[in-house]
Chains A and B, each alone.
Chain A
């Protein structure tokens, strides 16, 4: 396999990220493998766990970087849409307002025009498919970042022998299911009692 470091400097940011991901995985894997050899006898268990955890955290951090690139792209587009709409709305306001307001009534009228035009133009933007798509993708990327953070937290939680988010969720799900069954039985019993009392 050709060494990735031998590639020339025309590599794209994505290829660069892939390279560093490979580099990081290579060393964490090697350290992990080495720690399972006889010399690991001296490091007992926790050091092996530390090597495994470091690998997981490293992978998450690299992927966070990848998602940050996407997040930046959508947030740039988000502010571009806002700024374009602002520019267009301001031009419309400029056409309708005097250069220097002469009295209080004129200021009030100008403010009203400004608010109406800006509210209309921004509502049109927020209501558009273009905005909806970009906003949806932006939130989605934000959630990807949160997911990586959750995964890192899970590794830390497990390293101190605490349950992960998934394990806690399983407990919540079980509690919810039990509570639901009990509530339904209680309600059915109440209904039956009322029927019998009649």
Chain B
């Protein structure tokens, strides 16, 4: 009884306030479904199978001759690079005077289970590059790859160096054996042949499980507590819902592509050893000889810096830069740090070479 009487009344007040916030939440904020994630105006200039090539409308007059094509990751969708006007990667690049294209991989269905690395690298990505070269009357483009999109872009830069003027690898998945994340541990113990033979494409539910084991208490509980606590803060809530909507929308990954990705990158680690094949062609990272910028985040718990950095040392480029940022996987591309530091530095690097 003595202890009970010492409880701070503020604790009760906090609990009551929190309960009120939970009740009021539906009145105050939009449902994730009602939020539009495609912020920056663009047009679809090419569609092949389920993929779409997006061309963003310039905000200012284009200052640089070489257009930039972004190869987004296979997990979740490209919206994270254009999540909010104030945090949009794409918008920032447009404001710096770059011409920006984005390759949206779309949503594969059961019919697409046989799509492999060759289709993505020498099919969809090469067709997009070809389209841009035609439109801009240039012989080379700048290429940026993010996360697993950078694995595809790296393979492309090694196989088609004649088409890539500059290559930017942002948190690339390269050296699976050095990856220290939980994802890599699960990938290494997976019977991927059985998975693909039995269920075809890698289902989104599997990815949701992988997300759930990353900082499970911070991400699974505390994040939502903070959301309800800050329900009156419009900016916070808007940003939270946009990122949540993005996190909860991951397409399936074509079975054959997923199989090769898990085996060649995480289990046998062939890419960094120059032993990985795409179609019938061997990927030799030394053939990446164009100027290259590697961006890595110290706090990346999806692709650890140890997994990304070996690319910087493995390529044949003489003009290469490695940038390490004090942030996480998403923080590097959709945060105030990315707007204030990552993008301006990338813009300067790119403009000097475009």
Contact = CB atoms under 8 A, between A and B. Distances in A.
A184 B195 CA distance: 29
Contacts of A119: 215-218
A71 interface: no
A126 B111 CA distance: 33
Contact of B198 (A127, A150, A190): A150
A104 B8 contact: yes
A83 B11 CA distance: 30
Nearest to A100: B3
A127 B182 contact: yes
A190 B131 CA distance: 9
Contacts of A2: none
Interface string B152-182: 0000000000000000000000000000111
Interface of B is mostly: helix
Interface string B117-135: 0110011001100100110
Contacts of A104: 8, 10-11, 14
A177 B170 CA distance: 32
A113 to B, nearest CB: 11
Contacts, number: 104
Contacts of B218: 115, 119
Contacts of B222: 111, 115
B49 interface: yes
Interface in B187-237: 188-191, 194-195, 198-199, 213-218, 221-222
B114 A172 contact: yes
B191 A143 contact: yes
Interface string A95-136: 000011111100100010011001100110011110111011
Interface residues of B, number: 45
Contacts of A146: 198-199
Contact of A139 (B126, B185, B191, B215): B191
Contacts of B194: 140, 143
Contact of A136 (B7, B180, B182, B190): B190
B110 interface: yes
B10 A143 contact: no
A191 interface: yes
B185 A190 contact: no
The 8 closest A-B pairs by CB, nearest first: A136-B189, A132-B189, A176-B114, A103-B8, A126-B182, A118-B217, A143-B198, A126-B213
B189 A172 contact: no
B130 A132 contact: no
A107 B185 contact: no
Contact of B110 (A122, A147, A172, A180): A172
A112 to B, nearest CB: 9
A183 B130 contact: no
Nearest to B111: A172
Interface string A180-198: 1001100100110010000
B115 interface: yes
B196 to A, nearest CB: 10
Contact of B130 (A126, A131, A169, A191): A191
B6 interface: yes
A139 B195 contact: yes
